[in-house]
């Protein structure tokens, strides 16, 4: 058994990985048997292995491809399983910060995570029912017929253990229409929810097909007129929960005891619980990690964002996705968020590099991917709060930002690190200063 806690899987704890040159980092992945030589070539080739011909089949009016860095989040131990996590993101500190938090949590035994079944909701909006309450009853009485109609459209999904599994019906009454019977008919809508287990797919296409497919039957049963037929991105039946418990000693950092850091993080968490202005930024930090993995795995990050933030309003008040408490000498973190992610389907699967990233991440189901993403979100939040509750976010940010400032000023090769070091020592991380330093460096 390796340090990774499982057989045949190299550890994600790779000391000093960030210090190695880029090509050496990729070669290490080959040496560890994670990817082949040709996959390594795909990762490092110009255009990141994304041919224009493939891009041209994906959307309209293609004029090129857009590159972003792929970083590896390290040190992740989730449910006893070791992961390196490909993350696609432009913000300099995200990958370093999440790897650092994951290392601390790893020392504390790792993350635990669990998730609901992959159930998505397809909405069918019905207007003009004479008696909305009666329409609701009829739809519920005909649950079996509606499910059969939906499942006939995707028989393979049922064979894989999924399919349309339930029907719910809501009657939405617009305020102010109750006193007027005529207005009640036209300003009241019946909304059928078709609950579909999408297995390893995100499921948007198949849910939409089913929602459209049951519409004629819904009209026949209700006597109303079906209007919208579309999935809901408030995927509240598809939540992921991640947690960790960190003995406070592990949180000590320069000038701060572990207890001080833990208390600081708890207080930052309470701030987000009490204030939507802070909760939005707190949650942005969570989504820094979740989105980066969503993009690296070809998932629809707009859907994930929409669902996650809508879920945060479920009590009527916008609240944090992750919270932290000090309990019996340990900092306990918990995250709950809906994650509508898949590992099959979707146009992005045509992207050749994606196959390599899936090989690296090593997840075998949509559940496993969602649970890992939950752990990444929690780790990312821990990283932000740890910095905010101690020296502040800018020190670490600027150290990493300095390299891209140096490159923007025109530094190349070894000049980038040399100029970045000088910028940090100066405490003045600006392009103008980088240009001056670069000129001086080139003259000397």
Residues recognised as catalytic: 91, 284, 300, 397
| Contact by Cβ (8 Å): 133, 179 | no
Q: Looking up tokens 């499942």, which residue turns up?
A: 151
Positive or negative torsion for Cα 391, 396, 402, 408: negative
**Helices 366-388 + 276-296 axis angle, to 10:** 130
Q: How far is the CB of 320 from ligand MEV (least distance, A)?
A: 9
Rounded Cα–Cα distance for residues 275 and 412 (Å):
44
Rounded Cα–Cα distance for residues 131 and 225 (Å):
13
For residue 253, the cross-strand partners are: 256
User: Which residues make Cβ contacts (< 8 Å) with residue 169, sequence separation at least 6?
Assistant: 135, 136, 139, 140, 190, 191, 192, 193
Listed residue (190, 179, 193) closest to 131, CA to CA = 190
Q: How far is the CB of 393 from ligand MEV (least distance, A)?
A: 5
Nearer to ligand MEV, 288 or 353 (CB): 288
> With 0-12 CB in 10 A as exposed, 13-18 as middle and 19+ as buried, what is 302?
exposed
Q: How far is the CB of 275 from ligand MEV (least distance, A)?
A: 12
Half-sphere CA count of 337, side-chain side, radius 13 A = 36
Rounded Cα–Cα distance for residues 284 and 23 (Å):
32
Nearer to ligand MEV, 282 or 351 (CB): 282
Nearer to ligand MEV, 91 or 220 (CB): 91
Nearer to ligand MEV, 384 or 419 (CB): 384
Q: How far is the CB of 158 from ligand MEV (least distance, A)?
A: 42
Q: How far is the CB of 249 from ligand MEV (least distance, A)?
A: 23
Nearer to ligand MEV, 138 or 272 (CB): 272
Nearer to ligand MEV, 215 or 384 (CB): 384
Token pair belonging to 353: 């590099």
Q: How far is the CB of 325 from ligand MEV (least distance, A)?
A: 17
Residue 425: C-alpha distances to residues 125, 238, 312, 390 (Å): 61, 48, 41, 20
Positions in the binding site for ligand MEV (CB under 6 A):
91, 281-282, 284-285, 288, 384, 388, 393
| Contact by Cβ (8 Å): 121, 232 | yes
Q: Which residue number is nearest to ligand MEV in terms of Cβ?
A: 285
């Amino acid at each position: 058994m390796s340090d990774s806690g499982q057989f045949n899987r190299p550890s994600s704890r790779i000391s000093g990985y960030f210090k190695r040159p880029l090509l050496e980092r990729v070669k290490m992945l080959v040496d560890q048997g994670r990817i082949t030589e040709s996959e390594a070539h795909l990762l490092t080739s110009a255009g990141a292995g994304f041919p224009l011909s493939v891009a041209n089949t994906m959307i309209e009016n293609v004029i090129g491809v857009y590159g972003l860095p792929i970083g590896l989040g390290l040190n992740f131990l989730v449910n006893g399983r070791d992961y390196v996590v490909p993350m696609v993101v432009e913000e300099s500190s995200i990958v370093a910060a999440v790897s650092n938090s994951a290392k601390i949590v790893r020392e504390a035994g790792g993350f635990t995570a669990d998730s609901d079944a992959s159930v998505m909701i397809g909405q069918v909006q019905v207007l003009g029912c004479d008696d909305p309450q009666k329409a609701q009853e009829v739809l519920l009485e005909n649950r079996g017929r509606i499910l059969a109609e939906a499942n006939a459209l995707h028989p393979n999904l049922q064979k894989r253990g999924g399919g349309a599994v339930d029907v719910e019906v809501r009657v939405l009454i617009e305020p102010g229409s109750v006193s007027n019977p005529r207005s009640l008919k036209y300003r009241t809508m019946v909304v059928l929810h078709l609950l579909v287990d999408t297995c390893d797919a995100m499921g948007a296409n198949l849910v939409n097909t089913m929602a459209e497919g049951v519409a004629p039957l819904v009209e026949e049963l209700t006597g109303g007129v079906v209007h919208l037929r579309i999935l809901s991105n408030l995927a509240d039946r598809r939540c992921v929960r991640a947690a960790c418990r960190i003995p406070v000693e592990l949180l000590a950092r320069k000038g701060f005891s572990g207890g001080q850091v833990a208390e600081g993080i708890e207080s930052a968490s309470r701030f987000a619980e009490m204030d939507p202005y802070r909760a939005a930024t707190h949650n942005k930090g969570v989504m820094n990690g979740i989105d980066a993995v969503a993009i690296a795995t070809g998932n629809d990050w707009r859907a994930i964002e929409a669902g996650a933030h809508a879920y945060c309003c479920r009590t009527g008040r916008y609240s944090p996705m992750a919270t932290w408490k000090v309990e019996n000498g340990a900092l306990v973190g918990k995250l709950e968020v809906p994650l509508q992610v898949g590992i099959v389907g979707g146009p992005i699967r045509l992207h050749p590099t994606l196959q390599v990233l899936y090989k690296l991440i090593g997840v075998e189901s949509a559940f496993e991917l969602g649970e890992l993403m939950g752990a990444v979100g929690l780790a990312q939040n821990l990283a932000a709060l740890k910095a905010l509750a101690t020296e502040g976010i800018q020190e670490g940010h600027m150290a990493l930002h300095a390299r891209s400032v140096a490159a923007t000023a025109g530094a190349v090769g070894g000049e980038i690190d040399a100029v970045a070091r000088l910028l940090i020592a100066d405490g003045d991380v600006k392009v103008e200063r980088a240009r001056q330093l670069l000129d001086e460096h080139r003259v000397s």
